[in-house]
Amino acid sequence: MGEHQSETSAAYDDVVGLYASMFANRLETQPFARNMLGTFAELVRGTGNLRAADVGCGPGHLTALLHDLGLDAFGLDLSSGMVDHARRAHPALRFHVGSMEALPVEDGALGGVLAHYSMIHTPPAEVPALLAELVRVLMPGGLLMVSFFGTEGAEPVRFDHKVAPAYSWPVDQLAQLLARAGLVTVARLLHDPASERGFLDAHVLARRP
What is the pLDDT, as a whole number, of residue 153? 82
CB count in 10 Å sphere of residue 140: 9
Domain boundaries of the chain, sorted by first residue: 3-207
For residue 82, give the nearest of 145, 21, 4, 161 by alpha carbon.
21
What CATH code would you report for 3-207? 3.40.50.150
What is the pLDDT, as a whole number, of residue 196? 62
The answer to whether the beta carbons of residues 17 and 40 sit under 8 Å apart is no
What is the pLDDT, as a whole number, of residue 197? 66
Do the bridges between strand 200-207 and strand 184-193 make them parallel or antiparallel, or are there none, so unpaired? Answer: antiparallel
The answer to whether the beta carbons of residues 100 and 115 sit under 8 Å apart is yes
6 Cβ neighbours under 8 A, 6+ residues apart: none
Per-residue pLDDT of the chain (209 residues; tens, 9 = 90+): 566 777 777 777 677 777 777 776 777 778 899 999 999 999 999 999 999 999 999 999 999 999 999 999 999 999 999 999 999 999 999 999 999 999 999 999 999 999 999 999 999 999 999 999 999 999 999 999 999 999 888 899 998 877 678 899 999 999 999 999 999 999 999 987 655 667 889 999 999 99
Q: Say how far apart CA 141 and CA 154 lie, in whole Å.
A: 30
- State pLDDT tens for residues 153-202: 889 999 887 767 889 999 999 999 999 999 999 999 998 765 566 788 99
Cα distance between the two ends of the chain:
31
